Amino acid sequence: MHHSSHPNDVPPPRRRRPIGRRVALGALAAAAALVATSCGGGGDTLVVYSGRHYNIEAAFEQYTEETGVELEFLTGNDAELREKLAVEGDETPADVYITVDAGNLAAAAEQGLFQPLESDVLQSAIPAELSDSEGRWYGLTLRARTIVYNPDLLAADEVPTTYEELAEPEWDGRLCMRNASNVYQQSLVASLIAHHGEDEALRIVRGWADNAEIFSNDVLILEAINDGLCEVGVTNHYYLGRELDENPEFNVALAWANQDDRGVHVNISGGGVTAAADKPDEAQAFLEWLATDGQEVLVAGNHEYPANPDVPADPLIATEFGTLDDFVRDPLEATVFGALNPDAIRLMDEAGYG
């Protein structure tokens, strides 16, 4: 206070409208905007919470064109949308919940967020092992997690044939794998637990942890193999499809895993009608469409396999990887590995798998 702290030396402002008034105007405009946008979700539209992002607009638009039913959707992370559904409870605007992973479908069913459907269309379109036994959710597309390799570095007969083999010491320093936070990696490990029990699964994952360089997404694994940084890896098949689509010279080949025993691990993207749906019948009709006429547009450009066996796979993967008839799929029900997802995470933690 004594040595003067000249408050008067702040430079003089130009004259202008007082901030207070401008703030007030802004607040008014904002309030008007709030009122205007807070009344969505009602009316005749069907509301979808979707963990799928890519190209779903195209599918939804086509459905609207064909049926006249308007769709509104909210994309996001599977687990977070499931939390949102659970917290919203009866008040949720969502009629349909779609995920990219079986684990969250199983968890949502467990939480009572789906209602069981009695639909001949769905039952005949989607194989039983790809849907819930009580009809609460149905798989829509398939995502095989399999072995990929660099054909320059590995001859066809040298390529490992099973997930279990990748845990052998000979692959030390030659393997690239996905980090433990990823749902696909989690569901693969969950399937190992289902088949082998905890102890054996732990041994296998420890073997991977010893051998592998860990990447934070599948595309990086594919690029690393293409660059020759590793010889072999495990990714979802459609990422390779996408790379080959962009660059036919892309130097990575695919080998379906475990063809001599249970088959390759397949995760599903699927959906169901929410327990609190306002329009369950319309929601069911939409799901039926996705499982039949909508299959093609749903997988278009994304190189997934349609869950409906009557719908052909897109030409690129049909040519490069074969159709669903050309390889053996692990028959393990999605419900089972979905329910084991938490155990899979604990097991990877235990194994020190990054």
Tell me the one-letter amino acid at 150.
N
Asked if residue 92 binds another protein (CB under 8 A), the reply is yes
Please report, as residue ranges, which positions from 119 to 178 form the binding site for another protein (by CB under 8 A). none
Burial profile 135-144: b = 16 or more Cβ within 10 angstroms, e = fewer: bbbbbbbbbb
Please report, as residue ranges, which positions from 286 to 305 form the binding site for another protein (by CB under 8 A). 301
Residue 184 exposure: Cα atoms within 13 Å on the Cβ side: 24
User: DSSP alpha helices (H): ranges in 89-182?
Assistant: 102-110, 120-125
Asked if residue 248 binds another protein (CB under 8 A), the reply is no
Our CB check for another protein shows the closer of 129 and 213 to be 213
- How many chain residues are in contact with another protein, going by CB under 8 A? 80
Q: Shortest gap between Cβ of 269 and another protein (angstroms)?
A: 12
CA-CA distance, 262 to 257, in Å (whole number)? 9
- The interface region with another protein, picked from 115-123, 140-148, 216-224, 256-264 by CB under 8 A, is 216-224
Our CB check for another protein shows the closer of 138 and 353 to be 353
Asked if residue 8 binds another protein (CB under 8 A), the reply is yes
Q: Shortest gap between Cβ of 331 and another protein (angstroms)?
A: 24
Asked if residue 76 binds another protein (CB under 8 A), the reply is yes
Asked if residue 181 binds another protein (CB under 8 A), the reply is yes
307 in Cβ contact with 231 (< 8 Å) = no
Binder among 44, 65, 68, 91 for another protein (CB under 8 A): 91
Asked if residue 54 binds another protein (CB under 8 A), the reply is yes
CA-CA distance, 102 to 348, in Å (whole number)? 19
Question: DSSP letter at 129?
Answer: G
Burial profile 180-206: b = 16 or more Cβ within 10 angstroms, e = fewer: bebbbbbbbbbbbbbbeeeeebbebbb
Please report, as residue ranges, which positions from 309 to 348 form the binding site for another protein (by CB under 8 A). 341-342, 344-346
Q: Shortest gap between Cβ of 28 and another protein (angstroms)?
A: 10
